[in-house]
A and B are shown apart, each in its own frame.
Chain A
Amino acid sequence: MENTFVKASKRIGYTLLGLFLAFVVYANLEPAPMHSYVKPISMTIFKVDGLTNLEQVNSVKEKVSLHSGVTACGANPVSELVSITFDPDQTSEGSLRKLVSNITGKPVQAAVFKTDGPPSPQCPVPQEYIQAFEKVKYALCFR
């Protein structure tokens, strides 16, 4: 009985080791893409009712872009939206919301998107799964 257990454990161990080594080889077949060397970003989009003045829109873009951790800021007077890409290690959605509110002097809400057109097709595999797989792959890439 004990002998069978040891044999089974060894087989499972060798199989897992083999799979791991195969994955390491797969991860090293080609170098990691350049985007894996760029710091990842986060994004937030705010709806600012009354942000229809082009001068104010440009002022928001300029001031928000100067904030530490912000990599880009877009704003549009038609949609009244302010979109910000940022480094989550340096700033947060909460502090950016306060910042936009202070600059505009208007209430800032979460953006809600409505459209009448046909919906776009979506990838059946959640992006989080694909990115988690890629992260492990690039972590094991030594090229």
Chain B
Amino acid sequence: MENKTKKKILIVEDEESLRNVLRDKFLEEDFIVFEAGDGEEGLKAALREHPDLILLDIIMPKMDGITMLKKLREDDWGKEAQVILLTNLSDNEKLSEALAQGTYDYLVKSDWKIADVVAKVRERIGD
């Protein structure tokens, strides 16, 4: 085992199979992984665990990604939290709303290889 601190990542995704494969991959890549199946759970987990990065889906039941993001940004820690939107939406209205909340990145799931998603995450949190 390496001596460095493992990075914490929170995966907020309502599609179970996608959430599972992402978790498996990130665990393999030596991350600590937290999961949530909807925005409500995601917000709680984020504020509780303070992950190094949040992979956030947009279309979710109970509370969608944009709403969760807005609420997250109201929190002192949440203001600065690193978020990458992971979505299958290429709907610009929603995306510009999200980008307005300061995420800097969104990845269209079906256009990104899972390995590249990991690379992007590493790039963002300076791993």
Chains A and B belong together in one complex: no
Q: Which residues of B contact A (CB under 8 A)?
A: none
Q: Which residues of A contact B (CB under 8 A)?
A: none
